[in-house]
Amino acid sequence: MSKYSIQKSPSEFLKELAFKHRSLRNSHRLSQAELAERSGVSHGSLKRFEGTGKISLESFLKLLLILGRLDEIENLLLPEENIKDIEKLFSDKTRK
């Protein structure tokens, strides 16, 4: 992305995701070592993720499982038509 774009670049998004993850881990009062052990993700991978945002998808999902947020991923890539159908239910035109 250009530096004047309002849309985040993938690297900016990764860094923000890592920051949010670190905050979530801290809110659960888990150290990196504790979360790594409980999730089966190596401590090095977790440390790298929280520093750079880089992690494998499988490891990320394992972390989310332990933090109780895995269910949020299920709706991530829903087909667009399903979302439009849901939006129609709440539009002003259909509520008369």
Is 2 domain-assigned?
no
Is 3 domain-assigned?
no
Measured CA to CA, the distance from residue 89 to residue 93 in angstroms comes to: 9
SS (H, E, C) 9-78: CHHHHHHHHHHHHHHHHHHCCCCHHHHHHHHCCCHHHHHHHHHHCCCCHHHHHHHHHHCCCHHHHCCCCC
Q: pLDDT tens digits for 34-43?
A: 999 999 999 9
DSSP, collapsed to helix, strand or coil, labels residue 4 as: coil
Is 33 domain-assigned?
yes
DSSP class of residue 84 equals: H
10 Å Cβ neighbour count for 57? Answer: 8
The pLDDT of residue 96? 52
Q: pLDDT tens digits for 53-67?
A: 999 999 999 999 999
Q: Domain span at residue 27? A: 10-94
Is 1 domain-assigned?
no
Number of domains in the chain: 1
Q: pLDDT tens digits for 1-50?
A: 556 667 888 999 999 999 999 999 999 999 999 999 999 999 999 999 99
Report yes or no on whether pTM surpasses 0.75: no
Q: What is the CATH number of the domain that holds 63?
A: 1.10.260.40
